Structure 1
Amino acid sequence: MTDKTTQTYPCPQCKKLTRWDNNPWRPFCCERCKLIDLGDWAAERHAIPGDPEIPGADFDEQ
């Protein structure tokens, strides 16, 4: 059985192999990759698929 805390994995941003244990930026390899990913979400370059939002759909129509 392998201990997950000692495994290496590719950083989701730069693909550099990094260790899970003692990594304050996991799943990223460093703070830079973490901030790049956060910026991509803020700029809406990443999105979770779903139905398009209909304006006013949250309000009851009377």
Structure 2
Amino acid sequence: MTKPRRCPMCGKPAADDHRPFCSSRCRDRDLANWLGDGYAIPAEPAMPHQLQDDDPDGAAN
């Protein structure tokens, strides 16, 4: 038997209506974190010479 999943925001048991969250409040908090840059992937900053130009022709602006 598997143990019940917990809400990733607050740790309460997940509700079927809002899975994997326990409520719409926790679901909305998670969405706000994604939209507000609350979540980030750690990485080293890119050096200017490593950045590629968006122009497919390679022309400088």
Same fold (TM over 0.5): yes
Structure 1: 5+ residue runs without aligned partners?
none
Structure 2: 5+ residue runs without aligned partners?
none
Q: CA RMSD in A?
A: 2.6
What's the offset of the Cα at 1:48? Answer: 4.3
User: Normalising to structure 1: TM-score of the pair?
Assistant: 0.62
How far apart, CA to CA, are the structure 2 residues paired with 1:24 and 1:9?
A: 13
In terms of fraction of residues, the more strand-rich structure is 1
In terms of fraction of residues, the more helix-rich structure is 2
Q: Which has the larger radius of gyration?
A: 2
Aligned residues: 54
User: Normalising to structure 2: TM-score of the pair?
Assistant: 0.63
Percent of paired sites with the same residue: 33
Runs of 4 or more off by more than 2 Å in structure 1? 47-54, 56-59
Larger RCO, structure (CA 8 Å, separation 6 or more): 1
